[in-house]
């Protein structure tokens, strides 16, 4: 644990793609809210009083879920974008100097070792910012990393703002950063709303740092699990497998009873019989269905596609939960 590191965790959003009234970070994985997994990882790098969780939707519930961790909270009353979320933290004690890590509250697979590597890489490079990036064959849904002719990180463009040629870039922004605090706050003050969405993007800080003649580095030493699960529903099952929750993983893999938690209530979906091979249907209104608690159901047969266990969602789209 380092005395010069602070962490801001962005957790204000509702998570509209979840189709649930429960704030995204309050959905549970392996027995704990998503946000709690992130806080645990952050505590390996910074003491609780140097961890700030930015709240918004269901702020009181988020604070209650994290009460025993001793972290601090900052309310973002209006959600105007990730840059605005960080801006409302300015003035919090300890954030004006040293290193500042920015994380998302819905990344439960983020490991302490990843954060340590990111911070160590940042210190060694002497950069003003270090961005955790990855290369994905399907980068849909992520901001793209733009590089200058020398191959250096020059900017990040959000998908909604990207030109067609930029959408073909496979290197993506994870949304996880390590900044030197002083130049960061100078750039935060200069952020402007996107002309496309009206949001204030934290990603625009990267281009501003480069305009100021400062260096931005990237770090790619991270499991893709830690990044992909922010946007891909199959990764909700991967969380359970990755964290070695054997009963849950076994239940998911065998397409048994799936017990979901959404909107604050639990519902069970028993495996149904498609032909002679039962498959569990996932209500599209409960996007985190396979991420909840599960119970095995040892009825004959197994829902499979190409020899691998699957969960069948509405519309006959398959989520492969047997590859992990």
Q: Which residues form the catalytic set? A: 17
Helix (H) or strand (E) holding 118: helix 112-125
Buried/exposed 286-300: b ≥16 CB within 10 Å, e otherwise: bbbbbbbbbeeeeee
Neighbours of 258 (CB within 10 A): 26
Cα distance between residue 159 and residue 144, in whole Å: 7
Neighbours of 285 (CB within 10 A): 12
Q: For residue 64, which phi and psi values (nearest 5 degrees)?
A: -65, -40
Per the structure block, which two tokens stand in for 99?
A: 């290193």
Residues 324/242, Cβ–Cβ less than 8 Å:
yes
Residues 92/25, Cβ–Cβ less than 8 Å:
no
Cα distance between residue 55 and residue 94, in whole Å: 19
């Amino acid at each position: 644990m380092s005395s010069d590191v602070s962490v801001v965790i962005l957790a204000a959003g509702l998570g509209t793609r979840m189709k649930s009234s429960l704030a995204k970070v309050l959905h549970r994985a392996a027995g704990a809210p998503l946000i709690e997994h992130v806080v645990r990882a952050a505590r390996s790098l910074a003491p609780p009083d140097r961890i700030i969780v930015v709240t918004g939707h269901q702020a009181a519930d988020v604070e209650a879920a994290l009460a025993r961790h001793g972290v601090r909270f900052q309310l973002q009353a209006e959600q105007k974008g990730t840059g605005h979320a960080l801006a409302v933290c300015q003035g919090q004690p300890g954030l004006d100097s040293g290193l500042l890590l920015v994380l998302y509250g819905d990344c439960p697979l983020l490991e302490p070792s990843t954060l340590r590597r990111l911070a160590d890489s940042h210190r060694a490079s002497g950069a003003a910012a270090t961005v955790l990036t990855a290369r994905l064959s399907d980068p849909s849904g992520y901001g793209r990393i733009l590089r200058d002719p020398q191959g250096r990180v020059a900017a990040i463009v959000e998908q909604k703002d990207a030109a067609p040629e930029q959408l073909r870039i496979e290197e993506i922004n994870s949304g996880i950063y390590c900044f030197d605090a002083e130049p960061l706050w100078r750039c935060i003050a200069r952020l402007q709303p996107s002309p496309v969405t009206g949001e204030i993007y934290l990603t625009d800080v990267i281009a501003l740092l480069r305009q100021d003649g400062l260096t931005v580095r990237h770090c790619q030493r991270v499991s893709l699990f830690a990044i992909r699960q922010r946007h891909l529903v199959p990764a909700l099952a991967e969380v359970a497998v990755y964290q070695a929750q054997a009963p849950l993983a076994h239940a998911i893999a065998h397409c048994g009873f799936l017990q979901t938690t959404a909107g604050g209530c639990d519902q069970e979906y028993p495996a149904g019989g498609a032909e002679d091979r039962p498959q569990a249907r996932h209500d599209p209104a409960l996007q985190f269905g396979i991420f909840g608690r599960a119970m095995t159901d040892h009825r004959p047969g197994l829902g499979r596609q190409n020899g691998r266990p699957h969960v069948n969602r509405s519309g006959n789209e398959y989520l492969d939960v047997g590859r992990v």
